[in-house]
Amino acid sequence: MTKLCILAVALAVIGRARVAVLPGWAVPLPVLILAAEITACAAFIAWLVHRARRPASAAAPAGRPS
């Protein structure tokens, strides 16, 4: 029960926290966390698409049969 209370308090603090991104412009912390997650997901998907579109000949050189 104590861990659950600590987690609830921590989430409440994070939810109310504001971060000064630029002078005079404060943004809620959860918005920054969400933006970072979306950016990371977009970069990962772009990396997967880049790997999937690579030609098969460049993926692995064919061995010479003996």
Sequential DSSP letters for 26-57: EEEHHHHHHHHHHHHHHHHHHHHHHHHTS-HH
Tens of pLDDT, residues 44-63: 999 999 988 876 655 555 56
pLDDT one-digit tens code per residue, 15-41: 889 988 888 888 998 899 999 999 999
List b or e across 23-62, with b for residues whose CB sees 16 or more CB atoms inside 10 angstroms. Answer: eeeeeeeeeeeeeeeeeeeeeeeeeeeeeeeeeeeeeeee
